[in-house]
Structure 1
């Protein structure tokens, strides 16, 4: 039986669906507990508000077959089963129709302001389950979502094929003899099984530990027999970068990342660049992306005279402009500021704030700093490979020895803390958020100093203990033995045969010893491409007015075909070539489906007319 709970889990992670089907209880995290409580509260409040509109009875009978004969408007918390599907529906609305049977519309509740594809798929699943239970046509479903509840309609008939495909995949997973492979993905921070799956992946050294590795790339490596990070590390081979590709960004090497993890050394590709001329200003912003609201700006200014940290807090969205103006004042009061951040979140923040509230005057140093802010993640990506499974700030900073005051703090957990603070105004939650933001700024400063040492050989030589061992990828090639090593065999005859195998190759491909003449003689003849002459005359073939098979005139257009031939035109004293293009419009008879309009002359390929 494919239930709503299993399908929703499958959409997030197939392995989570398997664990739920086996009855394994999730360990739970602070965020997952908060999210479950929030969703339940939102669903309960939404049902109560809508069901309070009902004048008569609100709860329908337990059996869906009796619903059509009852007079009701809303049915609360109903379970519908049909054809191996089981949908748990929070609210069902009955819509009477004049002269026809009533329509039943499932209503789903989602606390988020932005709906995901999973929300729409689950709403369609509920609508299709209702249609199966009543033997009716698939109708629409409704989703109530957001802080200011808005209702959207989902056309379940459009999503029907996709929903049936997902349900079939869940059914195949439940009936399979072997469980699916545990794969870490983006849903892990929200999942109660996170610690369990992470521990299993680390134990098996699974490729999914590398967060930048996509599912298709993992499948390709597994097809080659590479299943672990350690195995992937042995596949890296340094290659000289072509001059034609010098202007293009460096390609990310998953094998080099695996090599850095295996050897616990920092690997550098090429020559990364990071601005160092000025006063570094590190910023880290906390916000609620679902509401487009930024409530905390952490600023760390490192001047020669000392380091200063400021935390700009907004109690509500009306204070957002105030903390932005205060941020601009701090930036304007800094001598030659260089704005450094980690990731695109802060880049989006700077752009949106400038559009909403305006930026500093254009010639100022603050305006220049905002326009040329440096994303350290972009400096690191594909150029500096830290021995960490991802390029996240926390993993890299922890490798460098930094620890957060709250080890469990994370970006996704800060969303829960902020929501809880808005409900309770607990000063402890506010302090936890500010401390977490300050730790992020300090970790960002540590990563920036490390990158500066890596990119400056003189600093790296003066402070060898301050940075872990650094290896440049270009130097790795010196340690790799040549593939063309001397062939040794227990049988001397085999060595002679192998030596003779190179003779043809040297004669056909190697020209260093044979001189310029042999190379010129080996040039392949160029292919001569035939140039098509433009048609000098176009002839449109006249099709029959009726079907030659049944004689009826009803027809629809089919293929439009052409044939270009070369004809000879004879004059009184000459003969010349002329290119003629014939066009044939095909038709299909509506009665007998016979296709006609093509001449027998066209059906036989020919060059001359």
Structure 2
């Protein structure tokens, strides 16, 4: 009769297929040498410990029911069976109070793993069923003989997700094997060969490195089940022409699948290597379990000669000598680059530098990780980027057919046990061949770097090569030139070549160009002065603006300033052209000559008044017009030609003008009993940044940050004592104030997942329970509003929901578990609105406040950093006006900077 034992349980935690083969079939496979080694070490460890135990204690007996009843202090070799279904082997049971026993197990390694703890937990669970009481503690003894104690009382919950499916197999044996899903445990599994063969026959997606069960399920929903099918999904990425930074480097499994299907090498980027006359290739072998690094191999390539050098440590005591010998040898080649593959070598070198207190930076700077040059850039037609797979594709070979890092650990253990130099020789050959394989790979990458355009077995991922003869290339170029010539705006676009020359212009040319631009601006001001129809004489100032002395002495010198402005009339908007004239004053104390205040309030180069600026701001902020459209409108309506660059400057100036308004808005927000917060992504000249919004439904504050890190939230709300209403972005979670999470986001997620998984009965039951909880609450809100008096009664229903659907529930579906975790994590912040008056259960207010940013993003595509600060100040004021039912247009023309004062003046009228 089949039973559930610790081997099956651990197998299921790693791979359901392995557990099925062990439990429901007669197949046992062939244990890897590494697993055999661990079992041998475990047995030796156990025997040593038992010998010491029997020597020190007389009350040691074999396990039996009679000996349990007699209450002996130690029982050994316990074969524990419970419910005729659960079976566990425990080397030692130790008696504690009330005739209860605690388990002790042994492992064949120096470090503990999650598998070891799982075995101990399972033994504790079986023991609980036998003796009636759960053991408080359990013990694991490692290969060093050290005992590690763990609490076992509350561990059953962790076992339930593993035990329930195994018990179902016992009750109703499945005739269908679980599918093959290769994972990182496969290299040591006894069924590795048959699973690998089956995966290759099926063209299984899990053959690809970094493909998880979650990714497999994602593609299966799209009808993609094989690598060949996956390869047809790859699409060349479109580069953002405005982007200043290249896109982030990531591994594209669809492109990897395409490389496998076509047998070609695909390039996202050309590999860049600077070769030297002398180069070093490094490979290090170690025992991670013991933190011992026993072999450093170095291949030295000088022009046409290649020599291999090895540095060996017999034990941990010899490691320091090996390290110093290696450094001494490296000193002969101070400028040679040191190539390695992967992160293991650099981690080891940093550890040895720290352990033996040696100089670090010079050596670390010489290291070149070839894996980084390949990752996400060069796609070989292989399943993974492991050195052996990639190098094997380009012709590298190894003497031992089973050569691997795992096998090297077995060879080292065998050498330590037997001192047979054949194992040491095998390790040296393996290490040397790894170095040679790395050199072969570096040579291949160099060839790709210089000859990718001409090699037929290489193609570019984003722009496929079109091989053609020289004659064909000439034809293609001429036809493309003719097609470009046919564009209707060809003549205008030719001017852009002159703009590009600015990048290479001299300082003298730049000064000349700036002089011409300044002269053009002066001409515009002069024309404005000539058109003046109204002259306003203003009073001379009485107080010196520099030192405060009064009175100022009048002088004959006259100050003039011509301003183009717009004013509101009963019939619309009127353009004015006014020249302000007034005598200047002289300060006898500081010798400062000052213009009248009504003239000096304008900047020296200012041409446009606040009314004109207000009209421009309204067109950009409220009407969301592009700069070109605003420039066309100013010329058509008011006869004023203005550049797009000048329009952007006006937004910056007005943003600074209303800085005080923004400060008052922030003051109001921080006094509010609640604040809604949200964020959205925008492009700043091709670089993704984030706009954050804070609002209470009356006032709005917007801020730009370079990243999505929530530092701005913590800084803004550092002293806030109210309630933060937000979505489920984790950045908000650590804010030190009460919170309310958005139910709209949660319900959207539940609804979408249920729609995509209509046959997930468990998820459907869970969502139904959420619906039964929330609908009565929403009906009450609809009838009485957000009042604690009517909503607080639902706190009991919430508690019942948690007891029935959340607390101590064990779900099988990943989706249901995801929502269970979300309800647990946000237990307090999901239902704050039941306990406080006027607290919204959604975050729609913040989304409404930030929506203009998303609309402008859709129109403009990208923003400029220099303008964005002023733009957000003005947009925040505009949204505050909308929320308060005030005219943003009239506020801009009013000259007021306090929204509350603007309201008072409005009422007086």
The TM-score range, normalised by the shorter chain, is 0.7 to 0.9
The residue that corresponds to 2:157 in the other structure is 161
1:546-588 deviations in Å (ceiling 9; x for gaps): xxxxxxxxxxxxx9999xxxxxxxxxxxxxxxxxxx999x999
SS of the residue corresponding to residue 349 of structure 2 reads helix
1:54-85 deviations in Å (ceiling 9; x for gaps): 31351132x3xx44421422222222222365
User: 2: CA distance between counterparts of 1:215 and 1:232?
Assistant: 15
Q: How does 1:49-64 map to 2 (within 5 A)?
A: 49-61=52-64, 63=65
Check conservation: 1:233, 1:262, Cα contact below 8 A: yes
Q: How does 1:107-126 map to 2 (within 5 A)?
A: 107-126=104-123
Change (3 A) 1:58 1:373: same
Change (3 A) 1:259 1:72: same
TM-superposed CA distance for 1:46, in Å, is 3.1
The residue that corresponds to 1:127 in the other structure is 124
The residue that corresponds to 1:371 in the other structure is 365
TM-superposed CA distance for 1:182, in Å, is 1.4
Change (3 A) 1:370 1:534: closer
Change (3 A) 1:560 1:17: closer
2:21 maps to 1:19:
yes
Change (3 A) 1:51 1:446: same
Check conservation: 1:279, 1:335, Cα contact below 8 A: no
Equivalent position to 1:441, from 435, 449, 452: 435
TM-superposed CA distance for 1:118, in Å, is 1.5
TM-superposed CA distance for 1:247, in Å, is 4.2
Q: How does 1:462-501 map to 2 (within 5 A)?
A: 469-476=457-464
The residue that corresponds to 2:90 in the other structure is 90
Check conservation: 2:31, 2:188, Cα contact below 8 A: no
User: 1: CA distance between counterparts of 2:836 and 2:416?
Assistant: 82
Q: How does 1:36-435 map to 2 (within 5 A)?
A: 36-61=39-64, 63=65, 66-83=66-83, 85-97=85-97, 101-146=98-143, 148-173=144-169, 175-242=173-240, 244=243, 246-277=245-276, 279-334=278-333, 336-360=335-359, 368-435=362-429
Check conservation: 1:126, 1:141, Cα contact below 8 A: no
TM-superposed CA distance for 1:298, in Å, is 0.5
1:260-289 deviations in Å (ceiling 9; x for gaps): 111111111023323324522100000001
User: 2: CA distance between counterparts of 1:30 and 1:601?
Assistant: 65
1:128-165 deviations in Å (ceiling 9; x for gaps): 2101111113422111113x211111211232201122
Check conservation: 2:267, 2:379, Cα contact below 8 A: yes
TM-superposed CA distance for 1:173, in Å, is 4.8
1:419-462 deviations in Å (ceiling 9; x for gaps): 1111110111110011100110000100111011111238x85x
User: 2: CA distance between counterparts of 1:444 and 1:599?
Assistant: 64
TM-superposed CA distance for 1:117, in Å, is 1.2
User: 2: CA distance between counterparts of 1:346 and 1:234?
Assistant: 37
The residue that corresponds to 1:493 in the other structure is none
TM-superposed CA distance for 1:604, in Å, is 12
SS of the residue corresponding to residue 456 of structure 1 reads helix
User: 1: CA distance between counterparts of 2:288 and 2:212?
Assistant: 24
TM-superposed CA distance for 1:327, in Å, is 1.4
User: 1: CA distance between counterparts of 2:738 and 2:211?
Assistant: 47
Q: How does 1:569-580 map to 2 (within 5 A)?
A: none
User: 2: CA distance between counterparts of 1:315 and 1:256?
Assistant: 45
Check conservation: 2:40, 2:108, Cα contact below 8 A: no
1:498-550 deviations in Å (ceiling 9; x for gaps): xxxxxxxxxxxxxxxxx979x99xxxxxxxx9x79459899xxxxxxxxxxxx
SS of the residue corresponding to residue 289 of structure 2 reads helix
User: 2: CA distance between counterparts of 1:471 and 1:604?
Assistant: 58
Change (3 A) 1:604 1:216: closer
The residue that corresponds to 1:4 in the other structure is 6
Change (3 A) 1:96 1:298: closer
Change (3 A) 1:13 1:603: closer
Check conservation: 2:78, 2:93, Cα contact below 8 A: no
User: 1: CA distance between counterparts of 2:323 and 2:460?
Assistant: 41
The residue that corresponds to 2:809 in the other structure is none
The residue that corresponds to 1:485 in the other structure is none
User: 1: CA distance between counterparts of 2:182 and 2:37?
Assistant: 22
Change (3 A) 1:44 1:203: farther
TM-superposed CA distance for 1:603, in Å, is 8.2
1:479-499 deviations in Å (ceiling 9; x for gaps): 9xxxxxxxxxxxxxxxxxxxx
Check conservation: 2:139, 2:148, Cα contact below 8 A: yes
Larger relative helix fraction: 2
SS of the residue corresponding to residue 273 of structure 2 reads coil
The residue that corresponds to 2:614 in the other structure is none
Check conservation: 1:51, 1:74, Cα contact below 8 A: no
1:356-406 deviations in Å (ceiling 9; x for gaps): 22335x7xxxx5343241111111011000111110111111111111011
Change (3 A) 1:244 1:73: farther
User: 1: CA distance between counterparts of 2:29 and 2:209?
Assistant: 23
The residue that corresponds to 2:682 in the other structure is none
TM-superposed CA distance for 1:297, in Å, is 0.5
Change (3 A) 1:39 1:96: closer
TM-superposed CA distance for 1:475, in Å, is 2.4
SS of the residue corresponding to residue 87 of structure 2 reads strand
TM-superposed CA distance for 1:232, in Å, is 0.6
User: 2: CA distance between counterparts of 1:163 and 1:93?
Assistant: 21
TM-superposed CA distance for 1:41, in Å, is 3.0
**Segments of 4+ moved more than 4 angstroms:** 531-538, 559-562, 598-605
Q: TM-score, normalised by structure 2?
A: 0.51
SS of the residue corresponding to residue 319 of structure 1 reads helix
User: 1: CA distance between counterparts of 2:308 and 2:386?
Assistant: 22
Check conservation: 2:203, 2:226, Cα contact below 8 A: yes
User: 2: CA distance between counterparts of 1:272 and 1:32?
Assistant: 39
Equivalent position to 1:33, from 36, 58, 67: 36
TM-superposed CA distance for 1:333, in Å, is 0.5
Check conservation: 1:2, 1:84, Cα contact below 8 A: no
Check conservation: 1:286, 1:295, Cα contact below 8 A: yes
Check conservation: 1:388, 1:396, Cα contact below 8 A: yes
Check conservation: 2:339, 2:369, Cα contact below 8 A: yes
**Number of residue equivalences:** 499
SS of the residue corresponding to residue 471 of structure 1 reads strand
Check conservation: 1:127, 1:141, Cα contact below 8 A: yes
Change (3 A) 1:123 1:96: closer
Deviates more, 1:229-238 or 1:85-94: 85-94
Provide structure 2 residue ranges, at least 5 long, that are not aligned to the other structure: 468-627, 634-661, 674-736, 741-786, 799-832, 841-882, 885-909
Change (3 A) 1:453 1:602: closer
SS of the residue corresponding to residue 21 of structure 2 reads helix
SS of the residue corresponding to residue 374 of structure 1 reads strand
The residue that corresponds to 1:502 in the other structure is none
Deviates more, 1:259-268 or 1:324-333: 324-333
TM-superposed CA distance for 1:308, in Å, is 1.2
1:326-351 deviations in Å (ceiling 9; x for gaps): 21122110252101101111010111
Check conservation: 1:51, 1:58, Cα contact below 8 A: no
SS of the residue corresponding to residue 44 of structure 2 reads helix
Greater Rg by CA: 2
